[in-house]
Amino acid sequence: MSTEGSVLSSWSVKPVLSADAAVELIDDAATVFVGGSGGGVQEPSSLLRALARRFETTGSPRELTVWHCSGIGDRAGGGMSLLADDRLVRRVVGAHWGMSPEMAALAMESRIEAYNLPQGAISQLLRETAGGRPGLVTPIGLGTFVDPRLEGGRLNSRTTEDIVEHVELAGSEALFYRAPRIDVALLRATTADECGNLTFEHEAALLEGLALAQATRATGGTVVAQVKNVASGGTLHPHQVRVPGVVVDTLVLDPEQRQTCLREHDPSFTGELSVPVGALPVLDAGPRRVVARRAAAEIEPGAVVNLGVGMPDGVALTAAETGLLDEIAFAVEQGHVGGVPAGGVEFGAVHNAAATLEAPSQFDFFDGGGLDVAFLGMAQVDRHGNVNVSRYGDVLSGSGGFINITQGTRRVVFCGTFTAGGLDVEVRADPAGIRVRSEGRTRKFVSDVEQVTFSGERALRLGQQVLYVTERAVFELTGDGLRLVEVAPGTDIERDVLARMDFEPVVDTPRPMPEAAFSAAPSRDPRGGRPVNTVEPTHNER
């Protein structure tokens, strides 16, 4: 006699609740961990909306502590912005804040306690918590604003508790990130069976789903999973199940669940379909294209490459249009290897990925020096080579995966325009060069950055190679400070470069930036390689 039915019913049949009923499981002062990433990727949107609705209707729950790893939101009122009320939320700990301007405003105005920790540290911390360990010990964050000798990741004067410690272990310094106790986890998958086993076949990333569920179970919390489909118990292929039902407590069905905030489903994000490279967008002429092309010249065949959000994601499009894609592998924080990273609000999704890992494992690879070169943005650069991307002026973006990437990679290329706010630059192909028609209002090269997201001093100590690429000049980090090594044709060094900086770089005899960065329609890669090829669409059997 088969015992399958009794086995299934004995340990695994999970209640399927409405989103409104599920958020009733959250008590006042609870610690809630929200899974997902920016742009709606794996975001449990129905649960977040239900939680906001409950608070608006009943005034409860109150005084929540909310953790999230990647930025949760769409910069248009979704994600964490739904919870942006200082009566509902008392404290937020997150890696990226820019996807939720409303929540970032609460932090900037000191209306909530707020922390910014490295994305990889939070991701790996979940795995440590799942194993019952007291926290994460890592060098990631040393010398940055996360280091308690600077700011300890605290974002305002209201935030006083230290949740990061500086320690010494085996003769080396490190940071210790304390494990949280999670009362409720809100996560998302594509399909659950009646037993709570979860598959992620239509999700644009795997992220921390397993680590989050296990960490919540280990600390006595409740795991609520929002899914698009519910299947019969025991019918999912075990190799497809990424989170077992033994660590899932409750299911919420949302048949209208979208893959990202911009689209219902893109099969090229999930390996069901490979799109032709020619179908990807092409960068318009302008400073962004110049920076992307010049930066891409730093890519060697066979390199494993990471791209930051914003201007650096243009490097992926440059690689596509110049035929570099089959010679390199992109790797992004959300877990993908290979393919072409999506840009904009969907950053973290990838077209045509070759492999998709869980995020903690991807950060292990990054922290261990697996990347050959990384291209990141820069809001501010100072005389010491420090870079700030996390907090400047009235903007709180957060560090995201920036600290993990920049501290673990041998070659780092920072990308951005020379100034910001109203910059107007004419890019000429023949003769190659630029002309600044209107200068930006905000200087990026300042005496001291407002917040240290990247430490030039630590980079020099680790022997990293660091470049700063703009549309008109390229600098390298040296023991004497920043050295001007390239200038765009048509640029007056004194007027267009030195006069627009708050400090004086080392200037010897800078060479011209390569003409390929300014050409109208390059048919070869920036290193002078072979002509562009195209990729035929292929279907992967599942």
pLDDT tens digit sequence for 158-183: 999 999 999 999 999 999 999 999 99
Largest CA distance in the chain: 87
Can you spell out the DSSP letters for 133-177?
A: -SEEEESTTTTSTTSTTTTTTB-STT-----EEEEEETTEEEEEE
On whether residue 533 sits in a domain, the answer given is: no
**Beta 329-330 vs 304-307: how paired, if at all?**
parallel
Q: Residue 536 falls within a domain, yes or no? A: no
The percentage of residues in the chain with a pLDDT greater than 90, rounded to a whole number, is: 85
pLDDT of residue 4: 47
pLDDT band of 317, cuts 50, 70, 90? confident
pLDDT (mean) for 366-375: 98
Q: What is the mean pLDDT of residues 218-244?
A: 97
What pLDDT, in 10s, does the model give residues 389-401?
999 999 999 999 9
pLDDT value, residue 226: 99
Cα dist. 109→20, 104, 157 in Å?
30, 9, 10
Q: Which of 253, 287, 306 is the last residue of a domain?
A: 253
pLDDT of residue 393: 94
User: Does residue 488 share a domain with residue 432?
Assistant: yes
Q: For the domain that residue 379 is a member of, what is the CATH number?
A: 3.40.1080.10
How far apart, in Å, are the Cα atoms of 456 and each of 291, 429, 522? 21, 34, 34
State the amino acid at position 27 in one-letter form.
Answer: D
Q: Are residues 448 and 358 in the same domain?
A: yes
pLDDT at 3: 41
Q: For residue 359, which of 25, 35, 4, 6 has the smallest C-alpha distance?
A: 35
Q: Which residue in 339, 337, 305 sits closest to 413, CA to CA?
A: 305
Region 431-454: what's the mean pLDDT?
Answer: 97
C-alpha 518/C-alpha 520 separation (Å) is 7
Q: Could you read off the pLDDT of 208-228 as tens digits, one per residue?
A: 999 999 999 999 999 999 999
d(CA 318, CA 13): 50
**In the prediction, which pLDDT does 527 show?**
41
pLDDT per position as a tens digit, 291-311: 999 999 999 999 999 998 888
pLDDT for residue 11:
60
d(CA 317, CA 298): 15
pLDDT surpasses 90 at 193: yes
CA distance 327 to 533: 12
Q: Tell me the residue length of the chain.
A: 542
Q: Is the pLDDT of residue 18 over 50?
A: yes
Q: Mean pLDDT across the stretch 387-412?
A: 98
The answer to whether position 529 is within a domain reads: no
- Indicate whether 248 belongs to any domain: yes
Comparing 313 with 86, the larger pLDDT belongs to 86
Q: Is residue 214 part of a domain?
A: yes
Residue 444 is part of which domain span? 268-517
Q: Give the residue, 225 or 528, on which the prediction is more confident.
A: 225
pLDDT (tens digit, 9 = 90+) per residue, 79-125? Answer: 999 999 999 999 999 999 999 999 999 999 999 999 999 999 999 99
Q: Are residues 239 and 338 in the same domain?
A: no
450 and 510: one domain?
yes
CB 70 within 8 A of CB 206: no
Q: Reply yes or no on whether the pLDDT at 9 is more than 50.
A: no
Question: What token pair was written down for 64?
Answer: 């929540």
**Average pLDDT in the 456-481 region?**
98
Q: Which of 253, 288, 319 is the last residue of a domain?
A: 253
Mean pLDDT of 9-21: 85
For the annotated catalytic residues, the residue numbers are 333
Same-domain check for residues 241 and 286: no
92 and 183 fall within a common domain: yes
- The answer to whether residue 539 scores a pLDDT higher than 50 is no
Q: How far apart are the first and last CA of the chain?
A: 33
pLDDT of residue 522: 52
What is the predicted pLDDT for the residue at 532? 31
Mean pLDDT of the chain: 93
Residues 452 and 142: their CA atoms lie apart, in Å, by: 10
Please say if the pLDDT value at position 497 is more than 70.
Answer: yes
H or E element, residue 192: strand 191-193
540 lies in some domain: no
Q: Are residues 353 and 429 in the same domain?
A: yes
Query: CA–CA distance from 452 to each of 21, 205, 464 (Å)?
Result: 43, 29, 17
Confidence of residue 523 (pLDDT cuts 50, 70, 90): very low
> Residue 110's CB: how many other CB atoms inside 10 A?
14
State whether 165 and 303 are in the same domain. Answer: no
The two tokens of residue 255 are: 């048949």
User: 218 lies in a domain?
Assistant: yes
Domain annotation covers residue 535 = no
Q: Average pLDDT of 243-271?
A: 97
Q: Are 95 and 118 in contact (CB under 8 A)?
A: yes
**At residue 57, does pLDDT exceed 60?**
yes
Q: What mean pLDDT do residues 330-337 have? A: 96
For residue 540, pLDDT over 50 is answered with: no
Do residues 113 and 237 both lie within one domain?
yes
Q: Is the pLDDT of residue 477 over 50?
A: yes
In a 3-state reduction of DSSP, which class is residue 288? helix
For helices 119-130 and 209-218, what crossing angle results, to 10°? 50
**pLDDT at residue 7 greater than cutoff 80:** no
Both 432 and 462 in one domain: the answer is yes
Element (H, E) at 209: helix 209-218
Do 158 and 291 belong together in one domain? no
Residues 278, 249 within the same domain: no
25 pLDDT above the threshold of 50:
yes
| Count: domains in the chain | 2
pTM, 2 dp: 0.93
Q: Which of these ranges, 2-11, 59-68, 211-220, 434-443, has the smallest mean pLDDT?
A: 2-11
